[in-house]
Amino acid sequence: MGGQACDHLVVSPGLWGKASAAALVAGATACCQLPALPPAVAAWPALLLGIAIWLVHWRGRWLGMLLVGFSWAGLHGLWALQAQLPPQQPPVDQVLRGRVIDLPEHRPSYSRFLLRVDNDPALPESLRGRRVQVYWSAPFARAGSGSAVPGSGPGGVRHTVAAGSRWQLPLRLRAPRSRINPGGFDGERHALMLGIAASGQVRAGSVPHQLEGPAGLAAWRERMSQRIQQARPSETSRFIRALALGDTRELSDADWEQLRALGLTHLIAISGFHVGLVAGGLALLVGLLWRCIAMLPRHVPRPTAAALAAAAGAVAYALVAGLALPTVRTALMIAVVALARASRRRMPWAQSLALAAFATLLVAPLSVLAAGFWLSFGGVLWLMWCLPGGQRAEPGLAGLLKPFLAAQGIASLALLPLGISLFGQASRIGPLVNLLAVPWWSLVVVPLALLGTALEALHAGLGAWCWRLGDTAFAVSWTWLQPLAAWSGAVWWLPEAPRWTLPLALLGVFWWLLPRGRGGLLAAPLLCLPLLWPDRQLPAPGAVEVLVLDVGQGTAVVVRTASRLLLYDLGPPGVGTDSGERVVLPALRALGAGVPDRVLLSHGDADHAGGLPGIRRAFPQVPVWAPAGSGVGGASPCHRGQQWRWDGVDFEILHPVQGHRERGNASSCVLRIATARGVILLTGDIGIAEEAQLLRSNRNALKADAALVAHHGSAGSSSAPWVDAVGARLALVSAGHRNRFGHPRAEVVQRWAASGAEVLGTATSGALHVWLGAQGLQVREQRVHAGRWWNAAGRERAAAILSVDKQAAAGPEGWKRVGTGQGRRLADGAAAAAGCTGFGDRPGAFLVPAPQRGAATGPGPGRAQLGGTRQAGSGPPGDPAGQFAAGRAAGGGAGRTQSSARPDP
């Protein structure tokens, strides 16, 4: 199949064969799926053993490459983590000097850019030559309402930051860390792939200054981008800048939404497609030149010259695009294949793809973490396997259209499972739109944009006419594409499916694309069903599901019954996008949830209501409740006495009273959710005074199995009488990592722990998933459930255990940690590791037992110690008060990450 029929194998695949390449990919992928990396003392011998097995001439040499891929990826992972600031290290103030190596993004309220620190002996060794993601916020001004808003005046010094310039910046440095939610973006993985050692915030009141002006390739790219804007100051010139230079800074969220709806994001963001287009174009030009000038082939054969031109073009364009990972990967692929063909050795395309995989993964084995790796290699592999090779093309237009249509159809169908698994969505109109947009943009718009850039590089002003023509050609297509993107059903969002559904769906597609008569026409789609229509795991009637999202310093909770959906608070606002768009909406899509039936805002403070604009844009008709006087426009008042029943679950507002005069935190709507199996209490930001009022007026209604700790665990809430009256088995804290308020306070955590509650926080556990149904109370921590070895919170706990708390090496009940260096536990009775009574009926969830009073001084039956392993004040670095005891393991079975609700200092 493919083009293999006419290619004669002259180069023996041997060491570099297809089986070895597939084994290398499989080994690296398996390593990247681990919750913890193997230590270097095990990875190095495994690597050497794998090389030895691979070098032996026998049929199973691919087993050696499997071991090589696994151990090589593990070593690269260890080196990448060692290059970052330790996650347990508190924020540190440091004056750094370095060069801006990307195109800085300037917004009214912030600037963001990547800084490569100088290799200066005067700087800390851990930062020399490293990459730091720098955030420079605008000064804040006080609005008339008294809330802090970003200043709208001129950006001042920060707007003078240009690509390629050198700066001295006073920064507050932190280890890379992100919020972990269902369907959310994994910023920790992103930082790992980009080699970012730390994130730095320019300190307010400091005096940064420029050391050198713009220079180098990054400065050239920014100058070219500015020239495109000057040559064609139109509404669509931003797309030409993106196509020519990879400069997507001016593309708005609305632009990306439209491109996603049309299935065209792969054409806008510079990727392997553009690199291949440049390489192919140069190869064709050189081939034409060699045909026209008879003397050239006498010195260099035409195939050799074309191959070398393709390799040179790919490398040059990767440099122009800023050495982005997709372009570097594709340039390596093209260079290896081109050089192999330049050596006059014919080989099948499959063997060429195998060499490209070797070149990519031996240089950067962590490339398997990038979606582009799978889409590029997968797309080429599917096309090679499906499209016939060695046949004469039909004459005329049919000979051109049939291969193009076949390639588009195969790519759309074969890459659908990968796209859904990687991005959680697919474009319903994408296949049709691509049939028209791909040839127009690929053969007209992109060549004009690239030709203009090349001419402009030769002489200023020479490329303007190409950019104008390219922009006009793009605008013609964009005019008729935008109405299609406006269709509400253009994007097909799918719930998150278990990992095993992807290989099953790929098998189904493979079966479907087999030649006719193989019986896959009806059976193959059935293999795709688990991925396309996964079980949404809705609560049964009478049960409730509560998801406390990780939104940083704020609160956002999703409450779901069998058929209804409630949003309680929506998190803080953001720059560009708020928590509603950035966190809540992706979580709803990952859950397969529909339109919310109601939004209940506990009060109007920004950290609770800041995500409302994003939710209202997505669901314009959703009803909103908020306390009277909260300042939330278009909201109905919530007050004590309001009750409703959904699917056998009772909801009741306990606070504030109707006609109340409180404002802010004191007016928070307290929601009681009651099922036949127990109660969950959501408390907003009430303080001790409001708690006392509720204790006097409705003490019996406060008893709960799980409770959201009021006001993020501040010292002004969670009084001892309140904690005793609630008597929760599970106390949930929604607070930001190392937030400036010190939430949750040590005394608050200890108070809940002493009452027998299991205390979990979003800062260390990510999103917290709680179910209350027939099996009782179940809990799942997102960082543990979807844990990977780059998880910052897991590494922080491991470092604390290994460096400070030696006594925790052997947990209660005689459990031992496995020797991974990651602070993990292996238990025969896995449920006991979390202080739980057994596995729940939800993936990764554990049952929470009835509270054991006095658990802070010793473990109860079947319960891990909450406070006996470490006394308050003896916590690890970054946990000065020891608020969350590390003696508690979170359960999850063998190898489950130890999870403790460690506080933010």
Give residue-wise pLDDT tens across range 443-476: 899 889 988 988 998 888 899 999 999 999 999 9
Burial of 741 (0-12, 13-18, 19+ CB in 10 A): middle
Length of the chain: 905
For position 516, what pLDDT does the model report? 63
Q: Which DSSP helix (H) or strand (E) runs through 823? A: none
pLDDT tens-digit map of 299-336: 888 888 888 888 888 888 877 776 666 677 778 777 77
**Is the pLDDT at 137 greater than 80, yes or no?**
yes
Are 497 and 421 a contacting pair, CB within 8 Å?
yes
Which residues does 130 contact at the CB level (< 8 Å), separation at least 6? 83, 116, 117, 195, 197, 198
Question: For 519, left (φ over 0), alpha (ψ -120 to 50), or beta?
Answer: left
pLDDT above 60: residue 149: no
Question: ∠ at Cα 395 (389, 399), nearest 5°?
Answer: 50
Q: Residue 550: pLDDT band by 50, 70, 90 thresholds?
A: very high
Backbone angles phi and psi of 93, in degrees to 5 = -90, 130
Q: pLDDT tens digit string along 364-378?
A: 899 999 888 888 888
Percent pLDDT > 90 in the chain is: 47
Residue 515 has pLDDT above 80, yes or no: no
Between CA 447 and CA 622 the distance in angstroms is 46
What is the arithmetic mean of pLDDT over 130-158?
62
pLDDT digits (tens, 9 = 90+) for 705-715: 999 999 999 99
**323: Cβ contacts below 8 Å, ≥ 6 apart:** none
**pLDDT class for 875, splitting at 50, 70, 90?**
very low
Predicted local distance difference test score (pLDDT) of residue 902: 30
**Mean pLDDT, residues 641-646 taken together:** 95
What ranges do the domains of the chain cover? 1-82+347-379, 92-139+159-215, 283-346, 501-532
At the top level of CATH, the class of 92-139+159-215 is mainly beta
DSSP 828: S
Asked whether the predicted pLDDT for residue 604 surpasses 70, the reply is yes
| CA 418 vs CA 157, 361, 383, 502, 589: distances in Å | 44, 20, 15, 7, 17
Which amino acid belongs to residue 16?
Answer: W
Q: How confident is the model at residue 199 (pLDDT cuts 50, 70, 90)?
A: very high
Q: Could you please report the per-residue DSSP string of 505-544?
A: HHHHHHHHTSPTTSSHHHHHHHHHHHHHS----PPPTT-E
Contact 714, 748 (CB under 8 A): yes
DSSP-assigned letter for residue 826: E
Mean pLDDT score, 595-603: 96
Bridge partners of residue 134, in order along the sequence: 113, 200
Q: Which runs of E-coded beta strand occur in 627-693?
A: 636-637, 643-646, 649-655, 670-675, 678-682
Helices 302-320, 325-342: axis angle to 10 degrees equals 170
Q: What percent of the chain has pLDDT over 70?
A: 81
Q: Looking at residue 176, what is its pLDDT?
A: 93
Element (H, E) at 600: strand 598-600
Q: How do beta strands 624-626 and 636-637 pair? A: parallel
Decide if pLDDT at 196 tops 50: yes
Contact status, residue 275 vs residue 314, Cβ threshold 8 Å: yes
pLDDT at 725: 95
Residue 422, both tokens: 């990687």
Cβ pair 884, 876 in contact under 8 A: no
> Is 729:851 a contact under the CB 8 Å cutoff?
yes
d(CA 270, CA 291): 31
Helix or strand run (H / E) with residue 769: strand 768-773
Neighbours of 513 (CB within 10 A): 17
Query: pLDDT higher for 850 or 626?
Result: 626
Least confident of 56-65, 155-164, 651-660: 155-164
Measured between alpha carbons, how far is 770 from 782 in angstroms, rounded to an integer?
A: 11
What is the CB neighbour count within 10 angstroms for residue 34?
Answer: 18
**Cα 413 from Cα 410, distance rounded (Å):** 5
Quote the CA–CA distance of 649 and 803 in Å, as a whole number: 47
Give the pLDDT confidence of 399-443 residue by residue, as tens digits.
Answer: 566 777 777 778 788 888 988 988 889 999 988 898 888 889 888
| Residue 833 binned pLDDT confidence (cut-offs 50, 70, 90) | very low
Indicate the pairing of strand 131-137 with strand 140-142.
unpaired
| CA gap 817, 824 in Å, rounded | 5
3-state secondary structure of 98: strand
| Residue 637, preceding peptide bond in cis (omega within 30° of 0) | no
Is the CB of residue 870 less than 8 Å from the CB of residue 898? Answer: no
- pLDDT, tens digit (0-9, with 9 covering 90-100), for 653-674: 999 998 877 788 999 999 999 9
Q: Where are the alpha helices (DSSP H) in 149-300?
A: 187-194, 217-231, 237-245, 253-262, 265-268, 272-292, 296-299
Contacting residues for 278 by C-beta, under 8 A, at least 6 apart: 313, 314, 316, 317, 450
**Does the N-terminal peptide bond of residue 656 adopt cis geometry, omega within 30 degrees of 0?**
yes
Q: How far apart, in whole angstroms, are the C-alpha atoms of residue 200 and residue 628? A: 40
pLDDT at 52 over 90: yes
Alpha-carbon distances, residue 199 vs 78, 188, 191, 874 (angstroms) = 19, 11, 9, 28
- In three-state secondary structure terms, 554 is coil
How does the average pLDDT of the chain come out, rounded? 81
pLDDT attached to residue 888: 34
**pTM value surpassing 0.95:** no
CA–CA gap between residue 482 and residue 141 (Å, rounded): 38
More confident residue, 738 or 899: 738
